[in-house]
Amino acid sequence: MSSPQIGEPEKRDQPAPEKAAAEKANASELTIDVDPSTLTVEDLYNKEKFDLETMDTSQVFQLLQCDEKGLTESEAAQRIERFGPNKLEEKEVNPILQFLSFMWNPLSWVMEAAAIVAIALSNGQGEPPDWQDFVGIVLLLVGNSIIGFIEERGAGKAVKALMAALAPQCKVKRDGEWKVMEASSLVPGDIISVKLGDVVPADSRLVEAVNVKVDQAALTGESLPVGKEPGDEIFSGSTIKQGEAEAVVIGTGLNTFFGRAASLVASANDGTSHLQQVLAKIGNFCICSIAIFLIAEIFVMFPGFKYRYRRGINNLLVLLIGGIPIAMPTVLSVTLAIGAKQLAEHKAIVTRISAIEELAGVTILCSDKTGTLTLNELSISKENVRLYTDDYSVDDILTMSAYASRVENQDAIDKSIVGSLDDPKKAREGIEVLDFMPFNPVDKRTQVTYRTISSGKLHRVSKGMSQVILDLSVNKTPEVEQRLHADVDEFASRGLRVLAVAEESIDHDDPEGQGNGFRLLALLPIHDPPRHDTKETIERAISLGVHVKMITGDQLAIAKETGRELGMGDEMYNATILNKKEELTGVASSVDELVLRADGFAGVYPEHKYEIVERLQKLGHLVAMTGDGVNDAPALAKANVGVAVADASDAARSAADIVLTEAGLSTIIEAFRGSRQIFQRMRNYAIYSCSVTVRVVTTFSILCFAFKFDFPPFLILILAILNDGTILTISTDRVKPSPEPNHWNLVEIFSYAIVYGCYLSASTLVFFGVLWKTSFFQNIINDEFTGGVNDFRLHSIIYLQVSILSQALIFITRSQGFFFTERPSVYLMGAFVVAQVVATMIAVYANWGFTQIEGCGWHWAGAVWIWNIVWFIPLDFVKFGMRALIKRYITHKPPPQPGTDVPADTALRRLSTVQSIGASYYESRTRPYEARKLNFGRRMLAKGGAIFTRHGKSLRMNNEQLQRFQSAQTQQVSQVLSRHAE
């Protein structure tokens, strides 16, 4: 039995006449001693002063200065200014600042520093500033920014269009006339009209109500609708399932039932994203590598070799320009954006782009039950129908039960019974209804009296609470009673509600006369069935290494039965155990172990879902949470990846990172696979870019140290441009999704990068040594270098050798086996061919005195290609050897798995919770959708105005409000169960 709501003792349990009398009495005793014109928004929604949810309706009208005729347009306009719109406002981003933000991160800073060096520090000693390098660097920066900006704006417009399509409308009385307008224009005091199928646009108190039932599954997680009467409150986001009503709006925006959950959402992790942390660490690795060799070159060139100022600056520019993977944030952003478009083709709309990367690493999927795993539609379990007579078949029983059901304005139970017929028309086919008694809480049954058209005989059928129907029956015996109670207990243990059905014949022609007595015919078990594809979806998720847990607000028995049907296990617990450590004895050694081991939890409130997700994250898991209701919103925001399923509430959509537009969870499997493909592309590129950094800084530093070789900065700039243009195509590369959740092992990535980089450096250093210290190639080609160690043709040759082998490395990093066994995409292969044709032409024909290169001719170009092919072939074996070493020495400690014990000293922390220097500067590249995402809590708490903040203080939920939040849900569930459940 639920406790009464705070401030509303027993009021809702009174019969309607007594309730009305009580309200009238209260109204005569209570007066509101306040001037409404001076009332602040904070005072209006201060529960200690005024409780708009429980006070008499007449007092609500008095306090809000309105009546049943509605507001005028001028009054509504004034209140909009005071209360704010009834929606979550989007924050517009200045496109110029948005574009410039792409040049504001540590990697871009290094390139910008190189541009400053080229234009401001390279002049002197009779030479002009290095305009060529400066212009090239600026073009490279601008080009990367343009690509990222275009992708971001396009993605943002797509999400904005999606959200605009979700804007709800309502029917409101203004200036004495009913008008249809957007729900965002509602203000407290408006009179609204709702009917069957409407979504309640704002928290309201019913003024008039005719046979109203409201589906609050999004708020409570309970399947059955709740009956409402004049004076009752209806909550924003709930759905009218029966009847019509007029109501006065009492709360908009944050001051609604689910708005009070905003503090939970807002307290979700607002730090830098997982991908931002990865970008920061990779960027720091590259910057540190450059810094080490930069300092070494400064000491070697100037104090050691006594280089002139300008000559030394050029060598430093080579490291600054060539060592920074300037395109890395853009490449990863484009990869994610293209991945988001691919996921959209599978009916998954991404509202936070970095969530794709985190989805690839998800190890636990927490799913709501009602409307997600199940249909949120009651259904008759035909195979479990219990017959108490041999005179009728199951189909006959269902047909007679449909006779005793409404065919219009149905409640959930009547809809399930009529829907169980192979043709709904059979509910009235062949009969003439003479009298119908609808369900009411007193009789707890429905009854129909009808004439069979074919025979002209009269019959009655009644369906309802099992004990009530049994007491009506003339065939009631101790044996029948014992059997029925046993069947009811069995169904209850499985979480199935039951209805009993009885029938009697009438020998005369008076519909109101006595019949021959009711005979108990059958028990009909009712449940919320799983979606047809849910079981397969869960099996596929498990095969992908993702454990699925059910998190539901429904009863424990129902959750267990659903878990058994879906094959996901039935080791489930009531959520109250999370706060009662004394109940853990014999169950688990700690709450963390219980959360990890359990197949699910029932009877949860928003704070329970939030806590479950948080505990799993602290154990080291990346957690995805699916849901459709307001009660899911805090957990959706807290989870690494929040997934709002089809037909989810606005609150769930705005808190989620991914919105599914197709019913069921099958779409999320494609999202898992797609995200893992995207992750593979990003990992391949990360290894490649770090390897090229190591390769450039080591190669040209050692060439300077060993041979006093000065490579032209402009050539390294061309190399960077061709590399960036080619590597962008990796976003569409063919890759296979991993069979297990992915994770960033940066030690592994850096280890590969160092080995690959050093190997490629060795190929260039050995090649240069053979060219300069021997006459091997000169004798074959019959050509000599007459310009010394910095012969212009030697610059061209080294440029071509570095360009070919560096870009060819991508074919090694992208494949798990030999490079030729995994076919790359046409775009990647085509871009590589075009880049190397351009590089070869430059090396063969370019005579650019300003950058100290001269065409080397086709003989030398052929020698370079042959040399690179010889060095490329062993790279696969280097990869295999590194993989063996990493597998042996560099292990990844996975988080404790479901079903295992949790060590007492477990203190795992995800990369996403560890702050990294510079991580926040990658936000523009990794959250292009987030600036437009309607985040349920953060947007409301961040918006200015009296309704959201006051004197700079954000709204928070105190303990009393949280108790009211819990109590309201508990009471609604209690009302439902008392009316319909056994």
Residues with catalytic function: 368
921-941 as b/e: b if 16+ CB within 10 A: bbbbbbbbbbbbbbbbbbbbb
Instruction: Give me the phi and psi of 241, to 5 degrees please.
Output: -100, -15
Instruction: Read off the amino acid at residue 546.
Output: V
Tokens at 646, concatenated: 């089809």
Q: Could you tell me which residues come within 8 angstroms of residue 694 by beta carbon, excluding any fewer than 6 positions away?
A: 289, 753, 754, 756, 757, 758, 761
Alpha helices for 368-431 (secondary structure H): 394-403, 412-419
Nearest to 561 by CA among 615, 612, 590, 525: 525
Instruction: Read off the amino acid at residue 348.
Output: A
Q: Could you tell me which residues come within 8 angstroms of residue 16 by beta carbon, excluding any fewer than 6 positions away?
A: 229
**Maximum Cα interatomic distance, the chain, rounded to a whole number of Å:** 125
Radius of gyration of the chain (CA): 36
Tokens at 962, concatenated: 């949280």
Nearest to 529 by CA among 412, 384, 381, 663: 381
Q: Could you tell me which residues come within 8 angstroms of residue 848 by beta carbon, excluding any fewer than 6 positions away?
A: 714
> The tokens 């300037």 sit on which residue?
326
- Cα distances from 384 to residues 56, 394, 395, 666, in angstroms, run 47, 10, 13, 28
Instruction: Read off the amino acid at residue 715.
Output: L
Nearest to 829 by CA among 894, 765, 733: 733
> The tokens 């401001």 sit on which residue?
120
Q: Are 663 and 372 in contact (CB under 8 A)?
A: no
Distance between CA atoms of residues 288 and 285, nearest Å: 5
> The tokens 């005979």 sit on which residue?
519
Instruction: Read off the amino acid at residue 669.
Output: I
Distance between CA atoms of residues 619 and 634, nearest Å: 19
Nearest 10 degrees: Cα torsion 20, 26, 30, 35? -20
CB-count exposure of residue 309 (10 Å: 0-12, 13-18, 19+): exposed
- Cα distances from 296 to residues 283, 286, 700, 757, in angstroms, run 20, 16, 12, 18
Instruction: State the helix-helix crossing angle for 792-813 and 746-773, rounded to 10 degrees.
Output: 150
Instruction: Give me the phi and psi of 373, to 5 degrees please.
Output: -80, -30
Distance between CA atoms of residues 44 and 947, nearest Å: 10
Instruction: Give me the phi and psi of 594, to 5 degrees please.
Output: -65, -45
Q: Are 193 and 245 in contact (CB under 8 A)?
A: yes
Distance between CA atoms of residues 756 and 753, nearest Å: 5
Q: Could you tell me which residues come within 8 angstroms of residue 108 by beta carbon, excluding any fewer than 6 positions away?
A: 102, 141, 326
CB atoms within 10 A of CB 482: 10
Distance between CA atoms of residues 137 and 718, nearest Å: 10
Tokens at 358, concatenated: 């985190």
Q: Could you tell me which residues come within 8 angstroms of residue 279 by beta carbon, excluding any fewer than 6 positions away?
A: 105, 328, 329, 332, 919, 922, 925, 926
User: What one-character-per-residue DSSP string does 740-804 give?
Assistant: S-----HHHHHHHHHHHHHHHHHHHHHHHHHHHH--HHHHHHT----SGGG-HHHHHHHHHHHHH
